[in-house]
Amino acid sequence: MPRTRTPRASTLVLLALASGVGACSEAPADFATHCREVLGLAPSECATVADFRLPETLPPARGNAYADDVRAAELGRAIFFDAGFARVPGVSCATCHVPALTFQDGVAVPEVVPGAPGPRNTPTLLDTARLETAFFWDGRADSLWSQPLFAFENPNEMGSSRLRIAHRIAALPAYRDTYEAVFGALPALADAARFPSDGRPGEPAFDGMSPADQDAVNRVAANVGKALEAYQRKLVSGPARLDRYLDGDFDALDATESRGLVRFVKSGCYACHSGPMLTDGGFYATSAAVDRGRAAGIETLLASPFNAEGPYFDRGAGEPLPLPLGPEDADEHAFRTPSLRHVTLTAPYGHAGARTLAEVLSTPGVLYEPGDEIVIAAFFRALEGTPPPAEWRTPP
């Protein structure tokens, strides 16, 4: 697949325009008319708002032919809650992605290893399968299945290794049987001379293996990632009140919330927070932080064997994202635009988790008409969707 440079979004320019009006009890029957006549938005603005509607179906998984196999999803759910994959005792995916906390952890940055806090805020996994962008704050994973592989091997997270992952799958009959039913036979992991019990790239145990055996272990790790993506495709919400509103239920938003919708549009927030997930998927420099953000993420992505040009990406399963050629100056200190779905449930905010919602909305230059921050925060409550089925929010 040829590499191309992806077009960059322009810098966000927010405009403070005229005030909108609240909802009306005698609303027109269709949203386009209601939007023009009751909300007072222009036709182009109404089209933008209509695009906020959550689709009924998920986008195709990228590079994962097993993404909608329920057996893979069940395996992924078991792995998600299992602390046996980590080197750090007691840690699983659910440690930082807590189901009761909207699949995030509610703290600024995680501290899985005492004294070694992570550098960035934990994003929610709810509706992650709806995102059509690169993952992590820095975009270092270009598919949802490759994303957890970084967390497995990050020393400040699970601290695990792909060899440990493969042996854990082989050691437990429930895992082994389901894995082989979905993905095919495991390699001969019982041969300790060929497959040490633990190790990742950069460690002697893994680096000393033959290239063919390294490839076999990489493929098991990739398939574990694909099972986790299949599970995450079950962690999707039902329609929020905003979606009902866009479908013509104009009582779904109260007067303050509908005014907040108008101010959200008139303040220009949709320039970066657009589409069904209210994110453009772009990366923007937010400060002169030490964290290199997208620039380092691109370097990591290009070096990963699990990217869209690698051998573990299932061809024909979704359209791959074009790989960038390399970082540019504008990628330094740039971070992905977060989705606003469920935003009222996923504090604190920003890649460093340093701000409250009130602080975000009161940032100089982001809004203003006086009171915008109040009504827009009210509008955000209408972005809370119904949770996934309980069976997918609990261990098997």
Domain boundaries, the chain: 70-232
Structure tokens at 113: 């290893």
Give the mean pLDDT of the chain. 91
- Band of pLDDT at residue 368, cut at 50, 70 and 90: low
Of residues 272, 292, 274, the one with CA closest to residue 282: 272
Q: Which residue has the higher pLDDT, 241 or 371?
A: 241
pLDDT value of position 298: 98
pLDDT of residue 159 exceeding 90, the answer is: yes
Map tokens 């005792």 to a residue: 89
Burial class (CB in 10 A: 0-12, 13-18, 19+), 28: middle
pLDDT value of position 367: 64
pLDDT value of position 335: 95
Average pLDDT over residues 21-44: 76
Structure tokens at 42: 């222009």
pLDDT of residue 176 exceeding 60, the answer is: yes
CB 20 within 8 A of CB 250: no
Per residue in 50-62, pLDDT (tens digit) is: 999 999 999 999 9
Average pLDDT over residues 188-209: 98
CB 140 within 8 A of CB 297: yes
Of 110-119, 190-199, 226-235, least confident by mean pLDDT is 110-119
Q: How far is CA 314 from CA 63, 177, 218, in A?
A: 4, 22, 14
pLDDT value of position 269: 93
pLDDT value of position 362: 80
Instruction: Report pTM.
Output: 0.91
pLDDT of residue 259 exceeding 90, the answer is: yes
- Band of pLDDT at residue 272, cut at 50, 70 and 90: very high
Q: At what angle do helices 173-183 and 211-232 cross, to 10 degrees?
A: 90
The topology under which CATH files domain 70-232 is Cytochrome Bc1 Complex; Chain D, domain 2 (1.10.760)
Per residue in 310-319, pLDDT (tens digit) is: 999 999 999 9
Map tokens 């497995």 to a residue: 152
Average pLDDT over residues 305-314: 98
pLDDT value of position 290: 80
Secondary structure class of 177 (helix, strand, coil): helix
Average pLDDT over residues 310-334: 96
Residue type, 388: P
List residues bridging with 349 in a β-sheet.
355
Q: Which residue has the higher pLDDT, 288 or 372?
A: 372
Map tokens 């799958």 to a residue: 169
Structure tokens at 63: 């590079």
Per residue in 108-141, pLDDT (tens digit) is: 999 988 888 888 999 999 999 999 999 999 999 9
pLDDT value of position 273: 96
- Band of pLDDT at residue 24, cut at 50, 70 and 90: very low
Q: Which residue has the higher pLDDT, 313 or 363?
A: 313
CB 112 within 8 A of CB 88: yes
